[in-house]
């Protein structure tokens, strides 16, 4: 099931910062989510991410917490760090972050501070909580408390494929 959530300040599909942007379509979201899920397959924990702007991939990332002995090396953070190193922070404004699992509070904070226009995730926190330790704070809850960084949030894109990774 596809669930669309938006913070009150970003209820439109097109970003307030990009009013002429075409609304996202399901096929595009699935294409990029498949790439995020592929990153998750290679991760220490099944979180993979891809950052997209203007139809092109800026960066990919995967959870490398065990490999790096770094509890902040989540898939979203890995992708953000790669994008910042290669393109700088301005490139992230208006971009979309796709991730195999709903970001937890730490990653969601970073996503908001980077001023992404959209977040698209596959499996929700509720769907993966039995497999992983989770802070039970949903990304929409964090976004709702962050009026300076409006973001559109879409959840459930290829959720069954992502949930299968968490079941292993």
Kindly list the catalytic residues: 76
Buried-exposed string 66-86: b where 16+ CB fall within 10 A, e elsewhere:
eeeeeeebbbbbbbbebbbee
Side-chain-side CA neighbours of residue 142 (13 Å): 20
Task: Please enumerate in sequence order all residues whose Cβ is within 8 A of that of 80, keeping only pairs 6 or more positions apart, or say none.
Answer: 51, 59, 61, 92, 97, 110, 111, 114
Task: Please enumerate in sequence order all residues whose Cβ is within 8 A of that of 145, keeping only pairs 6 or more positions apart, or say none.
Answer: none
């Amino acid at each position: 099931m596809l669930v669309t959530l938006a913070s009150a300040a970003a209820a439109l599909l097109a970003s307030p910062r990009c009013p002429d942007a075409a609304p996202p379509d399901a096929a595009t979201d699935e294409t990029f989510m498949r790439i995020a899920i592929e990153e998750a397959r290679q991760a220490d924990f099944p979180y993979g991410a891809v950052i997209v702007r203007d139809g092109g991939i800026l960066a990919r990332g995967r959870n490398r917490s065990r490999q790096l002995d770094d509890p902040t090396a989540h898939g979203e953070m890995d992708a953000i760090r790669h994008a910042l190193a290669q393109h700088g922070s301005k490139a992230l404004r208006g971009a979309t972050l796709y991730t195999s699992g709903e970001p937890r509070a730490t990653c969601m904070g970073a996503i908001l501070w980077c001023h992404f226009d959209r977040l698209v995730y596959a499996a929700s926190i509720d769907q993966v909580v039995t497999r992983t330790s989770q802070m039970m704070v949903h990304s929409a809850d964090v976004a709702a408390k962050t009026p300076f960084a409006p973001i559109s949030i879409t959840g459930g894109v290829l959720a069954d494929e992502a949930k299968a990774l968490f079941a292993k």
